[in-house]
A and B are shown apart, each in its own frame.
Chain A
Amino acid sequence: MRAVSGIVVRELIRFLRQRGRVLASLVRPFVWLIFAGAGFATVFTGAGEIDYRRYMAPGLLGMVVMFGSLLAALSTVTDRDAGVLRMVLVAPIRRSTVALGKTLSATLLGTTQAIAVGTILLSLVRLWPGCAGLLLAFAAIVLSSLALGALGLLLAASIHSLENFAGVMNFVVFPMLFLSGALYPVRRLGPALHALVYLNPLAYGVDLLKHALLAGWTGAGYGGEMPVALDVAALAAFAVAGLVAAARLLGREKGVTRAAFRERD
């Protein structure tokens, strides 16, 4: 447990020292709220029933969680580049402990950023979900951060160069965002795209956030679209699967030492 806390503390210190990253994570959702919100609001067919910016709020929080926890996974790639990962792997701890520490760091970073943004965002769009709604939103944020952090770690453990990771991230991030229901209800997508939604961890997170924050608009078709239990179960399953697979990959000797062997020849 001390090792897990060590990994988490280190990630926190590093995050707080990267001012640009902190600032970007806090400002990004508001840029979306202002620019994307203004554009999409004009074509939003739910106008009259719900203000588009209010409709966007759960999706934006999901986006904060996604960027927060996936970018946290980036540290595993930079750790490999800088050699820090080797030091961690030579410590007398299991690979699963390393994976758990990294995932919990991502969870903590994703959650904190989402709460910071959420506090401002909900007052801006005048959304008051009540205590039960806030609690469910909190649970949704924590669960989504956990699931996305674990999947981010899995990506980082399987991709070995920073450039490659950045490329894959772009490829992953945008489809994930557009198929999450963050910007429009997914029920309006065609059957093929709708099927993809079920493979998207962010979709369950955003859906759970809609249950929490837009409960009053469920009848109008703008609240959660999947059962709460399914959202929770799917997020938990993504988290566990990501953690287990990432721990296995981290333990693969190729990741740490073979690269060193090749460098020397």
Chain B
Amino acid sequence: MTAAAIEARGLGKDFGSIRALDHLDLEVREAEFFGFLGPNGAGKTTTVHLLATLLRPTRGTARVAGYDVVRDDLQTRRRIGLVFQETTLDRDLTVEENLRFAARLWNIPGRLAAPRIGELLGQFGLVERRRDLVRALSGGMRRALDIARGMLHEPRVLFLDEPTAGLDPRARRSLWELVQRLRAASGLTVFLTTHYVEEAEPCDRVAVLDCGRLAALGTPAELKRAAGVHSLEGVFLARTGHALAEPSAA
């Protein structure tokens, strides 16, 4: 049995009277490609923010890369990469300046940061754009840079929160190729949230989230078999009683 990269026990979060995440028990294994599938408003982003120490849980506990997200928040943040739904790059800085800024924030010494940045620029196809301002980049390239920055400090767990939102199909495809290459190269654990079933298909395991609750958990094949359907879309419908594309009754 491999160690858990992410472990949540009864994790929950309320915003005032809104129960964003009800009760989550979850274990994501080391090096796993884990999909978190659910409609908008299901609590996916809240879960990511809880695991990334940006929110304090209302109840329950969570450990990421072996660290408690409340007690050891700095240690946790040191070991995770987080790519938000919307880009968090500084548009007025160049590609390289954004990476250098992040390197300083993550306390990577200059002599280590320079080769690492060079390596990432190569890996993410950004070498020729290194001196361009971020505002001049296409959406796909910005996303690639967001992920490159998330990988700068060689995290053990990479959170991708709806990473393909707003990207055209070609940019999406190249993004997935990139993620697969990263996983193959580093044994990285990837925690992906998405509301697209086709993005959850290649995952090792998928958790289906609806209205802040876990509706199903397993490999895509297991889930389909158990529900007697041929698609994850069908799994969602069978487990929640409504279609993934429709807004859930929160």
- List the interface of chain A (C-beta within 8 A of B): 2-3, 5-7, 9-10, 13-14, 17, 82-84, 86-94, 253, 256-258, 260-261, 264-265
Given contacts A92-B78, A258-B15, A260-B85, contact A87 B56 (CB under 8 A): no
* 11 A-B interface contacts by CB (under 8 A): A2-B108, A6-B103, A7-B105, A9-B104, A87-B105, A90-B52, A91-B105, A92-B75, A94-B74, A261-B15, A264-B40
Q: Give residues of chain B (99-116) contacting chain A, Cβ–Cβ below 8 Å.
A: 100-109
Knowing that A2-B107, A7-B104, A93-B107 are A-B contacts, what are 17 other residue pairs whose CB atoms are under 8 Å apart, sorted by A's residue number?
A2-B104, A6-B100, A6-B103, A9-B104, A10-B93, A10-B97, A10-B101, A83-B89, A86-B54, A90-B52, A90-B77, A92-B74, A92-B75, A92-B77, A257-B54, A264-B41, A265-B41
Encode contact with A along B148-159: 1 for CB under 8 Å, 0 otherwise.
Answer: 010000000000
- Measured CA separation A265–B19 after assembly (Å): 13
Main secondary structure of the interface of A (DSSP, over half): helix
Whether B104 lies near A14 (C-beta < 8 A) is no
Cβ-neighbour of B105 out of A3, A253, A260 (below 8 A)? A3
A14: chain B residues within 8 A (beta carbon): 90, 92-93
- Does B194 touch A at the CB level, under 8 Å? no
> Which A-chain residue is minimally distant from B81 (CB atoms)?
A90
Chain B: how many interface residues by the 8 Å CB criterion?
Answer: 40
Contact code string B37-56 (vs A, CB < 8 Å = 1, else 0): 00011000110010011111
Q: How far is the CA of A261 from the CA of B100 in the complex (A)?
A: 29
Residues of A within 8 A of B89 (CB): 83-84, 87
A65 to chain B, nearest CB (A): 24
Of listed A88, A253, A257, A265, residue having the most chain B CB within 10 A: A257
| B105–A83 CB distance below 8 A | no
A88 touches B105 (CB 8 A): yes
With both chains docked as a complex, state the minimum distance between the C-beta of B250 and any C-beta of chain A, in angstroms: 8
Known contacts: A3-B107, A6-B105, A257-B54. The answer to whether A17 contacts B86 by CB under 8 A is: no
A-B residue pairs, 4 tightest by C-beta: A6-B104, A87-B88, A91-B105, A83-B88
B82 proximal to A (CB < 8 A): yes
Q: Which of A10, A84, A91, A253 contacts B55 (CB 8 A)?
A: A253
Flag if B84 contacts A261 (CB, 8 Å).
no
Tell me which of B46, B92, B107 contacts A92 (CB under 8 A): B107
Question: Please, how many angstroms separate the alpha-carbon atoms of A17 and B133 in the complex?
Answer: 11
